[in-house]
Amino acid sequence: MDEGSILVTGVGQAGSQMAAAFWAQLCRDHQIIPETGRSDAEPTGHWQKLFTAVGTGSETHYVPRCLFLDSDPRAADDLKRTWSELFNPANFVTGVESSGNNFAVAVREVGDRLNSDIRAVLDREFQKTPAPTAFIVFQGYGGGSGSGLAAGLFEILKDYAPAAPIMTVGVLPSTSVSSPVTEPYNAVFGIEAALKHISLGLVFHNDILLQLAASHWEIEHPSIPHINKLIADIVLAMTGSIRFSGDENPANSLADVIHDLAPHPDFPLATGAIFPLQSILRKNASVRTSGQILNQVLEKNLDLCPCADGKILSLGIYGKNRAGLQVLRKNEKDNETAIPHFARVHLSTEPSPHSAICVLVNSSSIGSWLQELCERFDQLWSRRAFANWYLEAEMTEYDIETRRREVGFRAERYQDI
């Protein structure tokens, strides 16, 4: 078992809000009250991987090991207000004004200005025991900050712990929701920077998750906070086995979970969705084992389990029992139902209807997401639309085209699987 801790970072507005949703739900998983940062009894599971205990007895505060980073302070101020008892305000690093939705401004001007403040937070976190041995970074690729500040952050993290894996959780620019015109630029630059440094990147489409919220979670008017909760739940499910040890399931490190999903360094991206077990069981009451559940999810919910239709490189199935959060290895009985050999299964074999099934897939279809993004980039770049915003912020045409080529190359590699 890896005895180190995991430092969780939220970058930009989307990244910070997703990270906050993650922390709120993570607290509840470990019996810590997010509104107060305290626990009525001793927190459950391996909470030390994510929190530092400050104080003693009933006065103990469980402080998240986190960093919130943004060009402007608006989103951070909201989070500090909402979760005033939970987060240490010193772990928020913000500039004074927005990057103007510009990767180049965020990575150079803002990143340079915030560098020493970021390092001050990391210095403190690395002095604590256990020291971080893995990082999770939430980011919105379309944002200037979510792409550019994160790019700078990866280099700093590698400085502190070159061998520690970085896992990113990022949203791609939506094609249906109107968003700033420069998002395809930021996203290509942001993904290129991430691909250089990360061990695994979970990528999500807001549109697909909105659809999932409406159809499977029966949320009438799903909005961004619902999406953030779904994304948080996915990350919670996949990290369940390292935060809680079941009887048969020794705790793994985040590095192990990452390796399961990204077994080859050229293909570090995965995506997926989380389904309430209730909706699967309602439609087919005879479903009982993890193998049957897996088949139900893959057969019936392919449209909402993006990328499961491509050639699959790896696939993770994670069970999350909200009541007790026992995540167990698959039972021998499951061998009756064919589970593909590449699937990694962490499921309770007698599923409680209150639990949820998370499916994460690393498949060749991720390549088409990258390809689509490159096409949107090219539509702008062929006319040099808004190019001066980047060129004036000290990016060169050569730099821009090199980054674009790299993402295009990755897209092709994925399609070659």
Ligand X SMILES: Nc1nc2c(ncn2[C@@H]2O[C@H](COP(=O)(O)OP(=O)(O)OP(=O)(O)O)[C@@H](O)[C@H]2O)c(=O)[nH]1
Residues in contact with ligand X by the rule CB under 6 A: 12-14, 17-18, 70-71, 98-99, 101, 106, 140, 142-146, 171, 173-174, 179, 183, 206, 224, 227-228
Query: 98: Cβ–Cβ under 8 A, 6 or more apart, which residues?
Result: 71, 72, 144, 145
Residue listed under structure tokens 């939705």: 101
DSSP E strands in 155-311: the ranges are 166-172, 200-205, 269-276
380 class by beta-carbon count within 10 Å (0-12 exposed, 13-18 middle, 19+ buried): middle
Binding to Mg ion by CB under 5 A, coded x per residue (else -) over 223-262, reads ----------------------------------------
Least distance to ligand X, CB of residue 196, Å: 19
Helices (H) and strands (E) in the chain, counts: 15, 12
Supply the minimum distance, in Å, between the C-beta of residue 193 and ligand X: 13
- The answer to whether residue 94 forms part of the interface with Mg ion (CB under 5 A) is no
52 binds Mg ion (CB under 5 A): no
Q: Is 13 in the site for Mg ion (CB under 5 A)?
A: yes
Greatest extent of the chain over all pairs of C-alpha atoms, in Å? 64
Is 16 one of the binding residues for Mg ion (CB under 5 A)? Answer: no
Of the ranges 6-14, 45-53, 147-155, 330-338, which one interacts with Mg ion (CB under 5 A)?
6-14
CB-CB contact of 9 with 138 (8 Å): yes
Contact region for Mg ion (CB under 5 A) — 11-19, 113-121, 169-177, 340-348? Answer: 11-19
Nearer to ligand X, 19 or 255 (CB): 19
Nearest to 138 by CA among 79, 52, 219: 79
Phi, psi of 373 (to 5 degrees): -65, -45
Q: CB of residue 178 vs ligand X: minimum separation in angstroms?
A: 9
Smaller CB distance to ligand X: residue 44 or 174? 174
Smallest CA-to-CA distance from 156 within 190, 116, 195 is with 116
CB of 18 to ligand X, least distance (A): 5
Side chain identity at 297, as an amino acid letter? V
- What is the binding site for Mg ion (CB under 5 A)? 13
